[in-house]
Structure 1
């Protein structure tokens, strides 16, 4: 049995998979906001509950915001700030009395969709998160690529490619730079563009409703968003040339992206033919927790 945990800012979700990747049970609890010790105990308690329910002991994979520093083995860059600077993996291993594997939540999404999701059968997959933030993960031949610095796939903190005059220097990003892809393509970035267009503050979800109503301002804002997403993914394709790109996060539910973005990105990709597929996720919001479980391969023991 493999147990995956998605450690989010508002919820902690755990999923148990059998040897064939079939779900045994799935549980969700609120995250103890801002309390590192309570978060550790909540994760351990959730795993204990699943093992009692199934009567089996499992391997444990954890999907987290941020990543482990290869220098200190402490969590860094997590928007759940109570995790930053703490040895999350080591502390969980002590509590659970077994090895734990840990990966960024976007990496877990990419791994899940590559193994038995929308990217199944593709040799190279780039998994994209476009929601509260913008992240990504790279899977080659079923193996997650973490990189020498454990930041592989962090495309959201590159500058927006081919920026126009109105896009420069770009909004300030929490990473300390300006004009990052994340500031344009996150839900907040999309909502900010709508506010600039109309003077009205709405959420990205509300903007989707206005799109469905054929509102002209929403149409203009989404056309700009699609062009920016196309440029950003074109830069990924020029570098990695993946067979498939899978979108995840809240904005992956905007159906028109899958038709419009491939029409636009051909203008920016350095090739006479573009065979890369842009696909919606198969597992939706369960991909992250499934990918955490898949951090342990079939047949591996704890």
Structure 2
């Protein structure tokens, strides 16, 4: 049986079909714009339209389908929450999708789908003995996904892996979640750019800040990147202290910064509860922006 997945993004919806559970070869990938500004019902219709198009193209329809979603379906109420595509919040999305598609639907947070895909199809293929895999997202926001023995751990409240909303800096920047100083407000791309602007009075992209850091000509860039590395080390150490994963994979734009994998790795040693010894593989992802949709199919 073919495995169908949908990655529901803020700007695009992508469908992927994998050949079978035993052969994860990609049969087809196809995208449509989300057009989330037109509302919840329109998003549902775009999803159905995309599945219809793919079904026509490959000559068969799905028997069940997985979805990578922004936010998560609350286990107690089955209503969506914590989604930055805000029209989804409070909606019984799983039920509505099952009604409109006429097949069983499984939802998981997009960070969890990223972690699952990397564990089974990506970086994790080189670490088959890693029972616990944690997928970190460091980009516009900061999030995470947890996979144990090849299964997503969604958790009692559906927030398993939500690493980005632990407090990292006491009395730091206010976060949309209601707290101050969350991981997301310290080491996400926008947070680093805001810190540089506060320090220097100049608004620059993270890419430019990083270039100035490497040039060694801008003290504010130096303090911005040093802040990233120090807080990254502290934040990752908490993951290792609690979960001790066999593999950590870091996705998102900030995760492309090579310093995280050498100097940042050294900073973890200051905080880890293991006499300063760390052997955890921490890697860039292998699947790029495919991880979300592949993870959805693997659900």
Give distance in 2, aligned partners of 1:63 and 1:107: 8
Change (3 A) 1:82 1:256: same
Structure 1, gaps ≥5 residues long: 296-302
Alpha-carbon distance, 1:124 to partner: 1.1
Equivalence for 1:207: 209
1:227 corresponds to which of 226, 230, 237: 230
2:51 corresponds to which of 47, 72, 96: 47
2:92 corresponds to which of 87, 92, 96: 87
Equivalence for 1:299: none
Give distance in 2, aligned partners of 1:206 and 1:100: 43
CA displacement, residues 13-53 of structure 1 (integer Å, 9 cap, x when unaligned): 11111111111111122111231000001011111111111
> Alignment RMSD, CA only?
1.4
SS in 2 for 1:119: helix
Give distance in 2, aligned partners of 1:265 and 1:90: 43
CA displacement, residues 67-86 of structure 1 (integer Å, 9 cap, x when unaligned): 11122101011010000011
Alpha-carbon distance, 1:274 to partner: 1.5
Alpha-carbon distance, 1:90 to partner: 0.8
Change (3 A) 1:211 1:52: farther
SS in 2 for 1:112: helix
Give distance in 1, aligned partners of 2:140 and 2:101: 31
CA displacement, residues 201-230 of structure 1 (integer Å, 9 cap, x when unaligned): 123344344445555332331121011111
SS in 1 for 2:285: coil
2:271 corresponds to which of 255, 268, 271: 268
Give distance in 2, aligned partners of 1:16 and 1:215: 49
Equivalence for 1:191: 193
Query: Do the aligned residues in 2 keep the contact of 1:249 with 1:285 (CA within 8 Å)?
Result: no
Alpha-carbon distance, 1:258 to partner: 1.2
- What's the TM-score, normalizing by structure 2? 0.92
Whether 2:75 is the aligned partner of 1:73: answer: no
Alpha-carbon distance, 1:286 to partner: 1.1
Deviates most, 219-228 or 83-92: 219-228
Structure 2, gaps ≥5 residues long: none
User: Counterparts in 2 of 1:1-302, with a 5 A limit?
Assistant: 1-19=2-20, 20-34=23-37, 35-58=39-62, 59-120=64-125, 121=128, 122-160=130-168, 163=169, 168-211=170-213, 213-216=215-218, 217-272=220-275, 273-295=277-299
